[in-house]
Amino acid sequence: MQLGEILQQSAVKTISSCTSKKRLFHDLGELAESSYELNATAVIEALIEREGLGPTGVGHGVALPHARIAGADAVKGIFLRLEKPLNFDAVDRQPVDLVFALIAPESAGVDHLKALALVSRTLRDASVCSKLRANSDPATLHTILTEQQSSQAA
């Protein structure tokens, strides 16, 4: 599995201001609907429910919200770069500015876990995060995410 298989360019966006985690989940839901034709309300509710189990802010300014929903036919990725970092209750108590959400079918099983591990590995790379923070163009952000993973596979 490669990031290019789960992340469409249309599902990558820079947001200038986000006031709360709930608002962020709404932005993710709307992007999931416009990019993947998923039900925005179902995505938002699933992300909020999953976040209730424990924060998905993994540290170093990165959050990996994820959820399973009915209606998803495969694992789908959504990436947001926040120009103004948001308090996300991350494990290191640092605000988040890079958000990679995963939406998976209810029956995804191992594919959901593989995608989560792939995204986690990619965003643990400090040079990838630096490049993402230095750019705001969605096409450039998509290229950074998908090229990095492809070069690691080679």
Which pLDDT tens digit goes with each residue over 85-141? 999 888 899 999 999 999 999 887 788 888 888 999 999 999 999 999 999 999 999
| pLDDT band per the 50, 70, 90 thresholds, residue 148 | low
Instruction: Please give the pLDDT value at position 7.
Output: 94
Question: Is the pLDDT reported for residue 142 higher than 70?
Answer: yes
In the chain, domain spans: 3-153
pTM: 0.92
Q: Is 66 a catalytic residue?
A: yes
CATH topology for 3-153?
A: Mannitol-specific EII; Chain A (3.40.930)
Which residue among the candidates 26, 66, 112, 142 is catalytic per the annotation? 66
- Kindly give, in sequence order, each residue whose CB lies less than 8 Å from that of residue 105, ignoring residues fewer than 6 positions away: 68, 69, 70, 72, 73, 74, 75
